[in-house]
C-alpha cells in the first residue's frame, strides 16, 4: 500500500537505519533502489542527498518537528513539501521517525509562472500608458522643429541643430512604437507546424544578425518529431531570440546545442482526482556553454527592459515568454553553475490557444 502511494514515504529506526522507502520517494530523490537499502544507515543511503539526510537527522533532536515544511533540492531543481513525525511505542518512547512528502516542483513552477505573468501584465500596462502619453508630445516636437527649420533658411548651424532635434525625436518615437508593439496582444495564426524547419531557419536568421564566429551549432532533433499547432512566424521569433542571446553570450567562441524531443508530461497526480492522462509535448532546448546567468538574475531576465548588454533593449526574453504563453507552452531557464545556459521551451503537441490577450 505504501509503495503505491503518490506521496513519498521514508521511515527510519531510532538507531538511524532505514526501515522503509517507497517508490515515489526513490523517484522524487532520483535514487536507484538497491537491494540492501533497508537496514542501512540513512546517512549512507542519502549520501548524495545531504539535504534529506539533514532533515532525517533532526527527527530525534528537535522538540517540535517540521510540519508542512519545504525543502529545496538544488541539484535536482526540485521542491518538496514534507512532514516529519516520530513513531512511538506503547509507552510513548520514540522508536523511529517518518518522513512524509510530496513533490511540489510543478506547483511551485506554476505559481512562479503566474507571479511572472502578473508582473509582466502590470509592467506592460504601465509601459503602454507611458508610450501612449509620449507619442503626442513627441509628434509635437517633431512637427514644431520642422516648422522652425523652415524659418531659419539662412542659418546652417541652427538648421543642423534642429535637424538633430528631429532625428532624436524620431528615434524616441521608434522606441515608443516598439514598446507598444510589445504590449499589444498577440494574434496567432495557428497551423500544423514542423518545428525542425522552424528551428533550422531560426539558426540562419539569428546568424544573419549576430556574427557566429567560431561557435559550433549542433542540432539534435528527434527524427519523428510530432507537429505542433503553432504560428511558425512567432515560434521562429522565439528561437531567433534565444539563439541570438546564445550567440551574444558566447561572443564568438563556444558551442550551442539545439535539442528537440517528444515527451509525455505527467500531470501532477496529487492534484487531480481522476487518473492523470499525460500531455504530449515537444521539448526544445537551446543550450550554450557560455558564462550562464547569475543566480540572482534568474528571476529578472524575463522582465521587460531588463538587460545586461550595453545595446540591449531587454525585450528579447519577454517577447519569447509572451509567444510561448500564447501557445499554452512554458519556458524555463535551466542554469547549472559553470555549465552555461539552457532555455527549455515546452510546447503542447495540440494547443487550445488561438488568441492571446
Please give the backbone phi and psi of residue 228, each rounded to the nearest 5 degrees, phi first. Answer: -120, 155
Q: Which does 301 bind (CB under 5 to 8 A by kind): ligand ATP, Mg ion, none?
A: ligand ATP
Question: DSSP alpha helices (H): ranges in 152-220?
Answer: 156-183, 195-209
Q: Taking contact as CB under 5 A, which single stretch among the options 81-89, 118-126, 218-226, 242-250 is the one that binds Mg ion? A: 242-250
Q: Least distance to ligand ATP from the beta carbon of 21, Å?
A: 38
Residues binding ligand ATP (CB under 6 A): 241, 245-246, 249, 288, 290-293, 301, 306-309, 312-317, 341
Which residues are CB-contacts of 282 (< 8 A; sequence separation ≥ 6)? 195, 225, 226, 228, 260, 261, 262, 263, 346, 347, 349
Buried b (16+ CB within 10 A) or exposed e, 177-186: eebeebbeeb
Helix (H, G, I), strand (E, B) or coil at 251: coil
Q: 293 is in the binding site of which of Mg ion, ligand ATP, none (Cβ under 5 to 8 A by kind)?
A: ligand ATP
Phi first, then psi, for residue 309 (nearest 5°) are: -105, 140
Q: Give, in order, the Cα–Cα distances in Å from 228 to each of 50, 74, 204, 265, 350.
A: 41, 32, 21, 15, 6
Closest CB 221 distance from ligand ATP, rounded Å: 20
Q: Which is nearer to ligand ATP, 290 or 348 (CB)?
A: 290
Q: Which residue number, 196 or 303, has a Cβ lying nearer to Mg ion?
A: 303
Q: Is 304 in the site for Mg ion (CB under 5 A)?
A: no
Three-state SS for 324-355 is HHHCCCEEEEECCCCCCEEEEEEEECCCCCCE
For residues 96 and 292, which CB has a smaller minimum distance to ligand ATP in the complex?
Answer: 292
350 is in the binding site of which of ligand ATP, Mg ion, none (Cβ under 5 to 8 A by kind)? Answer: none
For the CB of residue 312, give the shortest distance to Mg ion in the complex, in Å.
6
95 versus 333: smaller Cβ distance to ligand ATP: 333
Is position 237 an interface residue for Mg ion (rule: CB under 5 A)? no
> Closer CB to ligand ATP, residue 193 or residue 241?
241
Write the CA distances from 138 to 134, 159, 166, 299, integer angstroms. Answer: 6, 19, 10, 34
With CB under 5 to 8 Å by kind, the binding choice for 356 among ligand ATP, Mg ion, none is: none
Which residue's CB comes closest to Mg ion?
316
Stretch that binds Mg ion, among 188-196, 240-248, 295-303, 326-334 (CB under 5 A): 240-248
Nearer to ligand ATP, 7 or 210 (CB): 210
Partner in contact with 96, chosen from ligand ATP, Mg ion, none, beta carbon below 5 to 8 Å by kind: none
Q: Which residues of 50-73 are buried (b: 16+ CB within 10 A; e: fewer)?
A: eebbebbbebeeeeebbeeeebeb
Judged by CB, which is closer to Mg ion: 46, or 343? 343
Nearest CA-CA partner of 261 in 284, 236, 227: 284
Q: Which of 193, 236, 245, 346 binds Mg ion (CB under 5 A)?
A: 245
Sheet containing 94-103: order of strands = 18-21, 8-13, 94-103, 78-88, 69-73
Please give the angle made by the CA atoms of 351, 6 and 283, to the nearest 5 degrees: 30
| Cβ at position 241, least distance to Mg ion in Å | 6
Residue from the set 96, 230, 316, 340 that interacts with Mg ion by CB under 5 A: 316
Nearest-approach distance from CB 317 to ligand ATP, in angstroms: 3
| Site residues (vs Mg ion, CB under 5 A) | 245, 316
Amino acid at each position: 500500500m505504501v509503495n503505491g502511494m503518490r506521496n513519498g514515504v521514508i521511515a527510519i529506526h531510532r538507531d538511524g537505519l532505514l526501515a522503509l522507502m517507497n517508490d515515489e520517494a526513490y523517484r522524487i530523490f532520483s535514487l536507484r533502489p538497491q537491494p540492501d537499502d533497508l537496514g542501512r544507515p540513512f546517512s549512507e543511503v542519502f549520501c548524495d542527498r545531504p539535504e534529506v539526510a539533514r532533515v532525517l537527522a533532526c527527527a530525534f533532536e528537535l522538540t517540535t518537528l517540521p510540519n508542512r515544511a519545504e525543502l529545496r533540492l538544488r541539484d535536482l531543481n526540485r521542491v518538496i513539501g514534507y512532514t516529519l513525525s516520530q513513531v512511538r511505542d506503547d509507552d510513548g518512547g520514540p522508536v523511529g521517525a517518518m518522513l512524509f512528502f510530496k513533490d511540489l516542483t510543478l506547483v511551485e513552477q506554476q505559481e512562479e509562472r503566474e507571479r511572472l505573468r502578473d508582473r509582466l501584465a502590470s509592467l506592460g500596462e504601465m509601459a503602454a500608458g507611458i508610450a501612449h502619453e509620449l507619442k503626442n508630445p513627441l509628434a509635437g516636437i517633431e512637427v514644431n522643429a520642422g516648422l522652425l527649420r523652415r524659418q531659419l533658411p539662412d542659418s546652417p548651424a541652427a538648421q543642423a541643430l534642429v535637424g538633430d532635434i528631429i532625428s532624436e525625436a524620431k528615434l524616441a518615437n521608434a522606441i515608443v512604437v516598439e514598446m507598444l508593439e510589445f504590449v499589444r496582444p498577440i494574434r496567432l495564426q495557428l497551423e500544423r507546424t514542423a518545428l525542425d524547419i522552424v528551428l533550422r531557419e531560426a539558426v540562419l536568421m539569428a546568424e544573419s544578425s549576430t556574427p557566429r564566429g567560431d561557435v559550433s551549432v549542433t542540432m539534435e532533433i528527434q527524427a519523428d518529431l510530432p507537429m505542433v499547432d503553432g504560428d511558425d512566424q512567432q515560434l521562429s521569433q522565439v528561437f531567433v531570440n534565444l539563439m541570438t542571446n546564445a550567440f551574444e553570450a558566447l561572443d564568438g567562441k563556444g558551442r550551442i546545442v539545439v535539442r528537440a524531443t517528444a515527451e509525455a508530461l505527467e500531470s501532477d497526480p496529487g492534484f487531480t482526482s481522476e487518473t492523470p492522462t499525460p500531455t504530449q509535448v515537444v521539448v526544445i532546448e537551446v543550450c550554450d556553454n557560455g558564462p550562464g546567468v547569475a543566480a540572482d538574475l534568474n528571476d529578472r531576465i524575463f522582465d521587460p527592459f531588463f538587460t545586461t548588454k550595453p545595446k540591449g533593449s531587454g525585450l528579447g526574453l519577454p517577447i519569447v515568454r509572451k509567444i510561448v504563453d500564447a501557445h499554452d507552452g512554458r519556458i524555463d531557464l535551466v542554469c547549472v553553475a559553470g555549465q552555461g545556459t539552457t532555455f527549455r521551451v515546452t510546447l503542447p503537441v495540440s494547443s487550445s490557444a488561438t488568441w492571446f490577450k
